[in-house]
Structure 1
Amino acid sequence: MFDFYHFWQTHAPILSILIPAFTSFILLILGNPGAGALKNDWRQPWRRGISLISVVLGLVTALSYLVIASTGQITVYQLAEWSAPFGIVLVLDRLSAFMLVLTYALAVPVLWYASSNWDTRGRYFHVMFHFLLMGITGAFLTGDLFNLFVFFEILLLASYVLLLHGQGRERFQLGIHYVTINLLASALFLIGLGMIYGSVGSLNMADVGRLVPTLDGDQHKLAIAGSLLLFVVFGIKAAMLPVGFWLPKTYAVASTPVAAIFTIMTKVGIYAILRVNGTVFDDAMAQNIFKNCLMVIGLITSIYGVIGALGADRLRRFVGFMVLSSIGTLLITIAMFNTQAWAAGLYYIVHSTLIAAAFYLFCGWITSQRGVFKDHLKVAPKMKQEKAAAFTYFTIALMMAGLPPFSGFLGKVFILQATAESPYQGWIIAIVLIVSLLSIIAFTRVGFILFWRANTPEENPKEANFALYQALPERAPNRNDKAIYILLAGLMAYVVFASPIQQYTVATAQQIQDHALYNQAILKIDAQGRAISVQPFDPNYIPETKYGGEVEDHNALLIPDVISKTSLQGEHISEYKQRQIAEQILGAPTIPNEAQLKPMEEH
């Protein structure tokens, strides 16, 4: 009888990538007419239905992963049954499951809102939305650095199209800037990968983390330089200073649902910093440089964001600067490098993502209610839904500023508690409190302009303001306010269940700091505790094996062409790995001579 539970548990990681991938493929087959014809296209309800079913299925899948991961189990999926570090591996642990749930918890209300009208303003909205989800979920699940680059490129390609959704000169202009910045980041990513592979001989995260501390001299310095270059790349994705100035203006010109879903993209950068620089490169030299730089960058980013919000001239840019400030807070938690701080950061990352998305959706509501004034922070006629909008704004302001009894307050309390072990305790407490105070001032300023100082509508039909007021819509855009309330309700529930969630985040922080557990789950280890990537291959015995089976001879899991004795004559593996193999074959440390390190064709 078919065991569905075993099948689901075994293939869990790949399903999160396949669901949006197949959805995009199906939506492509449905075709897509010009933007002007989408409203009347008979296939549009089908696109919306398929798209919504897919994200709901993705959310259910992510929740099931959370249940699996909460047991402490690390699920490793090896594509084509190639063992790590040679094959592609997907890793489902507490951290990746947590981020997947956050991704789909945001995607469901945002897509539901976008399906009311926004998806008809440009072609292939749903296709690109699911390609974006595919890239994000893949980045959270991958177990090697090169495929992290691949999934980054997938989500970036989708984001390029989504940013221009709805067209417009301003979107196109800032879209060019966004593409240019990310192309530069992609080039730096490849250079960093080349430096790491050239020194370590592997790009599997577990294998790299195991080998880097054993490197000597220039090879070790090259690997550390590569890791720091990746840190710069992830910083660009996360929009940390001084490489994050692009975010406020870029997100300000994106359409409302696109700006809302983009709030999760910066968290992919935060995740990569935590996973790669925080755990993979667990090396004294690397962490020394990394911790000191990251703490300073986090403090500056946090204070810069809120100062920028004080001077913002548009509501969308105001939100962008507040997002920057929250990114700085998250960087501070990573830089503290202790379990309590990382757990606090994981709790805060959900709050900062959902409240920023709700605020961007609120910007769409305000823009529609203010007519020609849109989201510009200028005195305008009162909105027809002023009371409902003011109440929503007040709730968002309290949550985002970190005031009790909301999740932002709890997140900052957890962060302040974690500073007890940090030498930067005084600086962190001061910056967090100053940022909270300045946030309240900034929100008060915006609230005065939008609501308190708004002009009373004229009763005289001859007055210009009377015509402006009458032209304003009676209600918020379809589903806009409801999507906001769904996100705010989710954040309320986040406070109610704060205790079990915090327990999960603490366990997550402990798990990602347990490098031995991560390596054991991913790398094949023999009875002597050696990883298969350093074992010599025996070409005389190659028994047939199947993934997941017990094999007496561990050489059966190796790849002859990569680590056979003849590989010592080539340069397609690193000098360090050649030296390791030579030591095992000859029984004594041997450094390959220059002739051995030359390409095979020259012999």
Structure 2
Amino acid sequence: MNDLLHFWHMHTPILSILIPTFTAFILILLGNPGSGSLKHDWRQPWRRGISLVSVVLGLITAVCYLIQANSGQVFVYNLSEWSAPFGIVLVLDRLSALMLVLTYTLATPVLWFASNDFDERGRYFHAMFHFLLMGLCGAFLTGDLFNLFVFFEVLLMASYVLLLHGQGKARFQLGFHYVAINLLASALFLIGLGMIYGSVGSLNMTDVARLVPTLQPAEHKLAVAGGLLLFVVFGIKAAMLPVGFWLPKTYAVATTPVAAIFTIMTKVGIYAILRVNGTIFDDALGQMSLMIWLLPIGLITSLYGVIGAIAADRLRRFVGFMVLSSVGTILIAISMLNTEAWAAALFYLIHSTLIAAAFYLLCGWITSQRGVFKDHFKIAPKMKQDKTIAAVFFIIALMMAGLPPFSGFIGKVLILQATSYFPYQAWVISIILLVSLLSIIAFTRAGYILFWRATAPETNPQEEQYQQYQALPDRAPRRNDSAIYVLLTALIVYVVCANPVLTYMQNTATQIQDNALYESTMLKKDEHQNVISVLPFDSHYVPETKYSEAKDENAHYIPYLVPSDTMNGEHISEYKRKQIEHQKISQDNVPDESLLKSVEH
């Protein structure tokens, strides 16, 4: 048991990434016939079983991480045993643990629902689903900006395939647009990283946050410009205006479980804005730039989303516009740049993700019972389960519009309370209240068309409409309604536990603004208690490799950066060991400033 606990602590938090990664590879190795053969393929039950066991294991792991992170300790995992900022690190704190639990809380019922028959409509559904989870977990856990880019690409590659799952002209057409937009965002991401690295000399988040305030004016402006470019990239991922027009149509053509799991995708962009723009570039210029741009963008996005929902011609697009509106509300809270507002933003983020996923699942239920009318806002015969569906729609409408006593109402009240000393308080309160009113109008319109104005079904057996109506299912698609009930129950529990949840959110908001905590936990110090950091880029520097030897003025730092077992092993060359020992016994242990060219000066 002690060995198991030691293994757990030793490899926290990389297990959350390895679980979906190995699952995806195992599923690929199982092979996959054409989509038309999946129903009769003997391996399909194995795929479903392995996939579901993996996602449940991921959920258990995420909950354990949440319990660990609630202690306030920041857990750091050094890949290849090299400490930051020279090595790539994974960081488990309250925020990353929260996002992991949200990811798996959503993924578990969605995958369980998809394992009924949706996974038979295209090849490698389960493998791509777990590659998506791998990218999401990696993005939430990484402490390195370039690794954030890598995990973004992993989850995007998986999302490209999942969006096209089930085939169809509309999916291919909008999938092409989705790919093109994200490829542009990826190019901008790399440019922004280059600007930051060129001015700071590091891409470790904690190290960049430490060094940015010490830069010369010209370099500081370049770094902030790179940060703002990343803000645009994250804005595309979060679907904020004016770079979020793609979301309603794109999500509307995805299959029901894919659209439901995609609700977490916009939250990755919001997470990145909070983690990178909100905490790394938190000096005066960075915060001023963030508030100047983020507040009006949030206000406009929130208002535009609800107006688009009122004008929507399909229920799936209606949900997409409401997702846009919720993104705007979260961005408004983040733009206030205070702990109370950020805690409120996190509280509302959890609510908006789960309720949007439940709404997309409801769209699948409604579509199955409306036949040729699908989810279009057209007058159609009553659905066979119209009372049950209407009740679920009503509950979702109350939650999503932000009416009491549900979590949406609590989240919006918390945001309004956080505006106490905000200079643009009137704007924030006015827009949030107006959006809530318009949301009620939008849901009233949708419910009026779908339920109140529904006509009586045809009763003459000789009519074609009668045969079409009788052919419709009497019940929801298998597991569809159950998955919705699971998500709605989770949101009700969320309200019941609002007090401890809010305490956790407030502690999270406080922790992510404490750069000194991350610096003391992640970065190493030398014998003089100076942080060991990176050097500016030097084109003449030749690193020592296995097959070459080069003089290293900073060899004496190595014992501080790698574990003792590695130092005593065979990975440190004899040439490097001699340099370390020579510098240790040297009269001058502190390297010449002209050699270090430290970016702090």
- Structure 2 length-normalised TM: 0.91
2:563 aligned with 1:547, yes or no?
Answer: yes
**What residue in structure 2 maps to residue 505 of structure 1?**
505
SS at match of 1:135: helix
Shift of 1:524: 0.7
For the residues of structure 2 that align with 1:19 and 1:257, how far apart are their CA atoms?
Answer: 21
Question: What letter corresponds to residue 217 of structure 1 in structure 2?
Answer: P
Equivalent-residue separation in structure 1 for 2:35 and 2:15 (angstroms): 32
Cα distance in 2 between the residues matched to 1:404 and 1:587: 59
CA distance in 1, matches of 2:465, 2:229: 55
Secondary structure in structure 1 of the residue aligned to 2:90: strand
Partners of 2:287 and 2:197 lie apart in 1 by 19
The residue number in structure 1 matching 2:275 is 275
Matches within 5 A, 1:26-41: 26-41=26-41
Structure-2 residue corresponding to 1:594: none
CA distance in 1, matches of 2:520, 2:401: 42
- State the Cα distance separating 1:405 from its structure 2 match: 0.6
Residue 547 (structure 1) shift: 2.6
Q: CA separation of 1:543/1:474 partners in 2, compared to 1, >3 Å: closer, same or farther?
A: closer
Inter-partner Cα distance in structure 2 for 1:294 and 1:581: 44
Which is worse superposed, 362-371 or 530-539?
530-539
Q: Does 2:593 correspond to 1:583?
A: yes
The CA deviation at 1:363 is 0.4
The one-letter code sitting in structure 2 at the alignment partner of 1:88 is I
- For residues 98 and 564 of structure 2, the distance between their equivalents in structure 1, rounded to whole angstroms, comes to 26
Equivalent in the alignment of 1:135: 135
Distance 1:586 1:443, change over 3 A: closer
CA separation of 1:416/1:519 partners in 2, compared to 1, >3 Å: closer, same or farther?
A: same
Q: Which moved more, 1:283-292 or 1:494-503?
A: 283-292
Post-superposition shift, 1:529?
Answer: 3.7
Cα distance change on mapping 1:534 and 1:369 into 2, 3 Å: closer
**Cα pair 1:340 1:506 within 8 Å, conserved:** yes
Tell whether 2:242 aligns with 1:242: yes
1:360 aligns with 2:370: no
Q: 1:421 offset after TM fit, Å? A: 2.2
Cross-structure match for 1:419:
419
Asked if the contact 2:122/2:165 (under 8 Å) is kept, the reply is yes
What is the SS of the residue equivalent to 1:257?
helix
1:378 matched residue in structure 2: 378
Shift of 1:5: 1.8
Structure-2 residue corresponding to 1:3: 3
3-state DSSP class of the match of 1:77?
strand
Specify the alignment match of 1:193 in structure 2: 193
Once the two structures are superposed, residues 534-554 of structure 1 have per-residue CA deviations (whole angstroms, 9 ceiling, x without a partner) of 699454796698538899xxx
Q: Show the counterpart of 1:569.
A: none
Q: 1:100-141 CA deviation, whole Å, 9 max, x = no partner?
A: 000000000000000001000000000000000000000000
The 1:350–1:542 alpha-carbon spacing in structure 2 relative to 1, beyond 3 Å, is closer
Give the superposition deviation at 1:471: 2.3
Contact 1:381 1:465 in 2 (8 A): no
1:468 positional shift? 3.1
Cα distance 1:185–1:511, how it changes in 2: closer, same or farther (>3 A)?
same
SS at 1:420's partner residue? coil
Give, as a single letter, the amino acid of the residue that structure 1 aligns with 2:276.
V
Task: Provide the residue aligned with 1:55 in structure 2.
Answer: 55
Q: Distance in 1 between matches of 2:188 and 2:278?
A: 19
> What CA deviation, in whole Å up to 9, does each residue of 1:215-272 have, x standing for no partner?
1132111111100000000000000000000000000000000000000010000000
Q: Partner of 2:278: helix, strand, or coil?
A: helix
Q: Is the 8 A contact 2:202 2:534 kept in 1?
A: no
Structure-1 residue corresponding to 2:546: none
Find the counterpart in structure 2 of residue 598 from structure 1. none
| In structure 2, distance between residues paired with 1:228 and 1:582 | 35
Equivalents in 1 of 2:598, 2:214: separation in Å? 17
Q: Is the 8 A contact 2:526 2:560 kept in 1?
A: no
How many residues get paired?
A: 569
CA separation in 2, counterparts of 1:586 and 1:70? Answer: 39
| Letter in structure 2 aligned against 1:10 | M
- 2: CA distance between counterparts of 1:3 and 1:351? 38
Instruction: Report Cα offsets for 1:351-410 as digits up to 9, x if no partner.
Output: 000000000000000110000000111000111111111111001000000101111011
Q: Is the 8 A contact 1:237 1:268 kept in 2?
A: yes
Q: Secondary structure at the match of 1:263?
A: helix
Tell me the amino acid that sits aligned with residue 502 of structure 2.
Answer: Q
Partner of 2:75: 75
Unaligned 5+ runs, structure 2 = 536-551, 581-589
Mapped partners of 2:418, 2:487: distance in 1: 28
Contact 2:86 2:534 in 1 (8 A): no
SS at match of 1:90: strand
**Closer, same or farther: CA 184–543 of 1 in aligned 2, 3 Å:** closer
Q: Identity over aligned residues, as a percent? A: 71
* 1:92 paired residue number: 92
Q: List aligned pairs for 1:528-543, cutoff 5 A.
A: 528-533=528-533, 537-539=553-555
What does 1:144-163 align with in structure 2 at a 5 Å threshold? Answer: 144-163=144-163
Mapped contact 2:19–2:54 kept (Cα < 8 A): yes
Q: Deviations over 1:463-504 (max 9, x none)?
A: 443233222211110100000000000000000000000000
Equivalent residue, structure 1, for 2:443 = 443
Structure 1: segments with no counterpart, 5+ residues? 565-579, 592-603
Secondary structure of 2:77's partner? strand
Distance between the aligned counterparts of 1:103 and 1:590, measured in 2?
38
After TM superposition, the structure 1 = structure 2 runs for residues 298-337 of structure 1, keeping only pairs within 5 Å, are 298-337=298-337
Match of residue 573 from structure 1: none
Q: Which moved more, 1:294-303 or 1:2-11?
A: 2-11
**Is this contact kept in 1: 2:302–2:329, CA < 8 A?**
yes
> What one-letter code is carried by the residue in structure 1 that aligns with 2:272?
A
CA contact (8 A) 1:537 1:560 kept: no
Report the alpha carbon displacement of residue 581 of structure 1 after superposing the two structures with TM.
7.2
For 1:455-534, what aligned pairs fall within 5 Å after superposition?
A: 455-526=455-526, 528-533=528-533
Given the superposition, is the C-alpha separation of residues 239 and 182 from structure 1 closer, same or farther in structure 2, using an over 3 Å criterion?
same
TM-score between the two structures when normalised by the length of structure 1: 0.91
- State the 1:525 CA deviation: 2.3
Distance, in Å, in 1 between the alignment partners of 2:9 and 2:592 is 40
1:258: which partner in 2?
A: 258
Say if 1:370 and 1:560 are closer, same or farther in 2 by CA, change over 3 A.
farther
- Residue 542 and residue 18 in structure 1: after superposition, are their counterparts in 2 closer, same or farther (change >3 A)? closer
Residue deviations 1:5-61 (CA, integer Å, cap 9, x gap): 232122111100000000001101100000000000000000000000000000000
Q: Does 1:351 align with 2:367?
A: no
Report if the CA contact (8 A) 2:82-2:561 is conserved.
no
Separation in 2 of the partners of 1:548 and 1:185? 42
Which residue is equivalent to 2:168? 168
- 1:129-183, Cα deviation, whole Å (9 max, x unpaired): 0000000000000001000000000000000000000000000000000000000
